[in-house]
Amino acid sequence: MAAIRKTDWQKLPVSLTELCINTTLRCGQSFRWRKSEDDEWSCALHGRILSLRQDSKYLYYRAIFPTASSPLPIPPPSNAPSTTESVAQDEDDTLALVKHYFNLKPNLAELYNQWASADANFKKRAPKFTGVRILQQDAWEALLSFICSSNNNIPRISQMVHNLCLHYGPLIGHIGSTPYHDFPSPEALTSPTVEQHLMKLGFGYRARYIYKTAVMVAKEKGLDWLESLNNPENPPPGVEPKPAGEPVEDGREGYRNAHEQLLALHGVGPKVADCVCLMGLGWSESVPVDTHVWQIAQRDYKFGKGKHSSLTRATYDAVANRFRSLWGKEAGWAHSVLFTADLKAFSERLVAKAEVKEEEQSVKSEADGVEEVESIVRTKTVTKKRVKRALEKDEHHVLEVKEKVVKRNKRRKT
């Protein structure tokens, strides 16, 4: 086992309103974070294992660096680099990585207020889902992760991405007995054996897409090409931001160009391209429209009738344009808050309880000119879970009725 170097826990002042990692890391943006029983999140990221904890005032972070070369697991063979570079103590850039990865520069409370003032539906649903930030991930990781997302759910996508790293990514280190592998390079996935091996791992038709896309990026286009599609307003640390133009309803030129070029890759349709643009290339106006978002558009934004009765490409664009007209150049960010609110994994936050008191009076006895009246208060505790999608049949309405005698009143007949 390779030797490792751990940094001390550091803390960064950030409120749960500005960042909630328990929501952001579970809402279908990144698929490699693991949560321990003591609420610690960890992921191999840019040559280190990054671990996170959070309370109401601080985000705590720690890095674990390898101090020796870590060989890739064998088999299967690949052309991936077999070592990772160690990071010197005085070159620790973990704070800059955390700030960039979690996109901490924008004031999220102000953005939520802006989106809520423009949209009554956002104002209604967002308060229970504060602190959702759009991650600024590596574009290559976002590309392959969202190719895996086609016709898939978050647990299965996470398993596929985990297998990609386990079998083709460089080993960074361990936490306890658990190995952490960084994301594989394009070159690591260009061996002719890759497609068949991914099929055996359960990738299905996505195995061919991943292999062919890796070959295109590694041998034809290059990672420089992919990185050139980044929004210049959101560059990596150390690079000066540049303007990307004023927002327009169908998206700025740089976004449209990035989206169009991504469509040339295997396994990339409009939704996958928009996910990569939003979560890998920094184009926050990008609005991925999958079946969940389509259902939100029908339920809350009056789509689903007339020329937009089904999710065609024209309807896809119309939904995205509608959200951009509502929320501006951060439309993809605002849409992700609503997407998160619609996920089954967070349904417990949507439970609403209400008590309704109904007073009934009935004559119980009459003696000596005294009429005894018993007041019964029936307290109905109604627990409602919003049924968000037809497939979620386990979500239902629950009605619990409790009755109790509250008091006995007496009044004299006249």
Listed residue (151, 45, 22, 23) closest to 98, CA to CA: 45
Active-site residue, from 271, 329, 388, 413: 271
4-6 and 10-13 as β-strands: parallel, antiparallel, unpaired? unpaired
The one-letter amino acid code at 156 reads: R
d(CA 341, CA 157): 19
Check if 271 is active-site. Answer: yes
d(CA 204, CA 195): 10
- What is the separation of C-alpha 392 from the centre of its chain, rounded to a whole number of angstroms? 19
User: Cβ(67)–Cβ(4) under 8 Å?
Assistant: yes
Torsion angle of the four alpha carbons 285, 288, 294, 297, in this order, in degrees rounded to the nearest 10: -10
The one-letter amino acid code at 356 reads: V
List the helix and strand counts (H, then E) for the chain: 14, 11
d(CA 63, CA 182): 13
Listed residue (290, 251, 253, 254) closest to 270, CA to CA: 290
For 78, 228, 254, 255, the CA distances from 261, given in Å and listed in that order, are 27, 11, 11, 10
Residues annotated as catalytic are: 271
